Amino acid sequence: MSARHGDEAPLLEAEGLALQVGERWLCCEFSLRLVAGECLALLGPNGAGKTTLLHTLAGLRAPSVGQVRLAGKPYAAWPALEAARCRGLLVQQQPDQFGASVLETVLIGRHPHLGRWGWESAADEALARQALAEVGLQGFEAREVLTLSGGERQRVAIATLLAQAPQLFLLDEPLNHLDLHYQITTLELFRALIRAQGMQRAVVMVLHDINLAARYADHVILLDGRGGVIAGDREAVLRADLLSQAFGHPLRRVDSAGRVIFVPD
Amino acid sequence: MRSGRRHRLVFAVGLLSAVLALVWALVAGDMPISLGEVFAALGGGEGMTAAIIRELRLPRAVAAFVSGGLLATAGALMQVLLRNPLADPYILGISGGAAVGALLGMTLGVAALAVDALAFGGALTAMLLVFGLAHGDGSWTQTRLLLTGVIVAAGCGAAVSLMLALAPDTRVMSMLFWMMGDASAAARPWPAALVLVVAVAAVQPFARDLNVLARGELSARALGVQVQRLRMALYVLASLLTATAVTLVGSVGFVGLIIPHLVRLVLGNDQRVLIPAAALAGGTLLTLADTAARTVIAPQQLPVGVLTALIGVPVFLFLLARHPR
């Protein structure tokens, strides 16, 4: 998908990928290529298969057709723990069944970096505290996760992913439960992470907000819920006609102060 | 980590309580035996006192301790496996299968050893049945496992009621005692003790995987945990521990449910600490309960399962009221 970084080895590659759930095809064959420093947004209406696609890109689900490669190797060739050091997944919020402190929860992200008998070291704890600070939760270390609000829990989950420190961040609706301020802060945080010098990082995220996708994504995959896939650079995919068709609702493009905004009619 | 010192302290207290409980179990009884005589007997002394200690009280105390430890460990494992803090070792029908086996043996009037064998066989049959049915179409979800287990347990319950209704009056009493849990007939606790020690040691290197699994299947897989394999190992291990305990002392209730909860309240939900601590606390509680069961209204003996439930129900309700969730 990228012409700019054509010579770099892609962090994530999908070739001739197609997904089927039961009898239904979620998306017809398409390919993608994501190199370090890039951000890809998955857009589409409810039930279009964005999460299924994300899980497939995370190697947690075998593709019906085609192949997914992480850093050049198909997932089948990756030992599970090694893959977990290379790519991390932010899942949609699930209810917690057991209590734990915020710090303990974030330290779970260090799991793939510790040996079978290993306990979290002071360095792991420092990483976890830093991750909490990055999502604005410093001072929450000792709080019980079950007492947090939805938005705070979402930020704890993001901090857990930061503590995991993967190269490829796969985010399923990372802005869920977040207020406007933290929506922008979170997207800025990931943009800074993938643009950091010397770091081979990239982001794939499922988003609902077309305008935030227009602002932060380099590439977009648009699923229309009927098996159709449009994949390409942001400008090529984020067009009023394509979006209107995919979401089944007329949208209008507005250019405002150098930014593109899509407004539902 | 900073909490390391606190953990060591709590473990030292737990170990001391366990030793004290075992000593009390050896000293207390119809025939009062002094501490000195107990040590003399354990050291290989002769005479009737030594025989009572070595052949009656010691096996019984060890049986109570070991089965308490087994049940608490199995309960903690089941709670992670089903990701449900209200799961207990019996929820998937293991004790139901054991009860069917044991009561069948009693109905037929076979020897005690054969009753044990039938109980263990029944537990394993229930385990394989639930495993096979829940695994049927290749998927293995928590809900499906739970539902299958609960239904198999209900079926076993019906079979048990049927046998109780048809059994001759003379045998009903011993059947009821078996079902409520009774350590008085447990003469060979040492193999079970070995099972407990090996199981707790074997879980330790995988305990952090359990912590990750407790946060949810999908995140666990993304963090590199082999969820399917881990779940199956958990299921088989928890079932075997439960089967061993039930074979030894019958289906003693509440230990497997409340001990993991109590430990979680004191030490948190890190399975690396929780599981050995639960084994220790479960053993201590059941030893105390069993000693009380045979001394409170001596010479009459109470089934220990009644005592654990009598202690367990108010403690559990108190905890639920204190931690609203």
Gyration radius (Cα) of chain B, Å:
20
State the DSSP H helix or E strand holding residue A157, giving kind and residue range, or none if neither.
helix A150-164
Tell me the chain B residues in contact with residue A122 when contact means C-beta distances shorter than 8 Å.
1
B 50-109 residues with CB < 8 A to A: 83-85
* Window from A112-116, A213-217, B69-73, B174-178 with minimum mean pLDDT: B174-178
Q: Which residues of A touch B (CB under 8 A)?
A: 55, 58, 60, 79-85, 87-89, 91, 94, 96-101, 104-105, 108-109, 111-112, 114, 116-120, 122, 125, 146, 164
Kindly tell me if the per-residue pLDDT of A1 is higher than 60. no
Residue B136 has pLDDT above 90, yes or no: no
State whether B269 and A94 contact (CB < 8 Å): no
CB distance A100–B84 less than 8 Å? no
Could you give the domains of chain A? 1-71+168-185+196-265 (3.40.50.300), 87-166 (no CATH)
Q: A58, B84: Cβ pair inside 8 Å?
A: no
Task: Tell me which chain B residue has its CA closest to the CA of residue A103.
Answer: B1
pLDDT tens readout for residues B235-264:
889 989 998 998 898 888 889 988 998 888
Question: What's the pLDDT at B43?
Answer: 84
Q: Mean pLDDT for chain A?
A: 92
pLDDT tens for each residue of A200-256? 999 999 999 999 999 999 999 999 988 899 999 999 999 999 999 999 999 999 998
Residue A149 has which token pair?
């609000």
Q: Do A111 and B224 touch (CB under 8 A)?
A: yes
Tens of pLDDT along A182-215? 999 999 999 999 999 888 999 999 999 999 999 9
ipTM of the complex: 0.92
| B223/A97 CB distance under 8 A | no
**What is the C-alpha separation between B212 and B227, in angstroms, rounded?**
10
Q: What is the pLDDT of residue A238?
A: 95
- The mean pLDDT value for A108-137 works out to 95
Each residue's pLDDT tens digit, B146-166 = 888 899 999 999 999 999 998
> In this predicted model, which residue has the larger pLDDT, A4 or A161?
A161
Residue B324 has pLDDT above 50, yes or no: no
Size of interface A-B (CB pairs under 8 A): 74
pLDDT band, residue B29 (cuts 50/70/90): confident
Q: Sorting pLDDT into bands at 50, 70 and 90, what band is B3?
A: low
**What confidence category does residue B110 fall into, taking pLDDT thresholds of 50, 70 and 90?**
confident
Domains by residue range for chain B, with CATH: 62-322 (1.10.3470.10)
Confidence of residue A5 (pLDDT cuts 50, 70, 90): very low
Q: How does pLDDT run across B272-292, given as a tens digit for each residue?
A: 999 999 999 999 999 999 999
Residues 1-30 of B with CB under 8 A from A: 1
**How confident is residue A3, by pLDDT bands cut at 50, 70 and 90?**
very low
Identify from A57, A91, A97 which residue to disrupt to test chain B contact, counting B C-beta atoms within 10 A and taking the largest count. A97
% residues pLDDT > 90 (chain B): 41
Decide: helix, strand or coil at residue B167. coil
| Alpha helices for chain B (secondary structure H) | 3-27, 35-42, 48-51, 58-81, 94-108, 112-135, 142-166, 169-180, 190-203, 207-214, 217-222, 227-249, 255-267, 271-295, 304-322
pLDDT value at B83 more than 70: yes
Looking at the predicted structure, is the pLDDT value of residue B1 above 50?
Answer: no
**Record: contact B223-A58, CB cut-off 8 A:** no
Supply the pLDDT for residue A67: 95
Total-model pTM: 0.90
Q: In what order do the strands lie in the sheet with A229-233?
A: A87-90, A168-172, A202-206, A39-43, A219-223, A229-233
Is pLDDT of A114 > 70?
A: yes
The reply to whether B221 touches chain A by the CB within 8 Å rule is yes
pLDDT value at position B37? 87
| Model pLDDT, residue B155 | 93
Residue B186's pLDDT band (cuts 50, 70, 90): confident
Encode pLDDT of B213-227 as tens digits: 998 889 999 999 999
The CA-atom distances, in angstroms, between A170 and each of B82, B149, B155, B218, B274 are 27, 36, 45, 13, 32
Q: Helix B94-108 vs helix B112-135: angle between axes, to the nearest 10 degrees?
A: 140
